[in-house]
Structure 1
Amino acid sequence: MSTSDQTTDVPEREGTKGFYVYGIVPADVEPEADAVGMCDSKVDVVKQGDIAALVSEVSVDRPLGKPEDLRVHAHILDGTSRVAPVLPLRFGAVLTDADAVKEELLGEHADEFA
């Protein structure tokens, strides 16, 4: 097949996205609507019982570690700590999806985080 026959609407490879985790917070914490996380993505909350994780979707093909990445990580944690208790996670914590955050991180460590 020649390159002119190839389509530009190729679906993204499965597994190229992950969930960057900033920290653990009480389940009633909500990020500000305009909060911007890693890779200019929306900051969201994954809840499990009384605790939650602040997360944003990132491409796992893009290495983390630029100075701006560290500033974003710190900014999200600092902003959250002004309004609620937050247990920060180490810079660079990425899980495969929201279910992994919920089950592997929050579910398995709920007692420790509480």
Structure 2
Amino acid sequence: MADALTIFLKLLSFLFMLIVLCGMVIHNLAFADQRARLMMSMEGLSKFGDRIKESRRTIVETEELGASALQDLHSQRQSPWQHGVEDTIGKSKKVLTAMSRRMSRNKWIIGTIIAVLALLLS
């Protein structure tokens, strides 16, 4: 009877250690899964940050082109052959105004995205 009790206690102790070990394995697997998801999220954020940087470069280039176009239009307006240019200048002004609105909208969108990312990361 004592041998059966000893064997039973050893078996119970073994099962307890096995349960603890399984719990540790499950915890480590969950931790590894969370870490993998975090790494994927960080990679996605990095790519998104690169896209934002590229968008900013595009905005700066567009602003420079717009300023250059405005300077060209101003110099052409002061030239002696101004008689038929007024219509063209009006059309160009509309195009540049539309470009300016798009640039402003894009700046707001990028600012909003940055704010959302800042809120998500904090």
Fold shared per TM-score above 0.5: no
Higher relative contact order (CA 8 A, sep 6+): 1
Q: TM-score, normalised by structure 2?
A: 0.25
Structure index of larger Rg: 2
Q: TM-score, normalised by structure 1?
A: 0.26
Where is the helix percentage greater, Structure 1 or Structure 2? 2
Where is the strand percentage greater, Structure 1 or Structure 2? 1
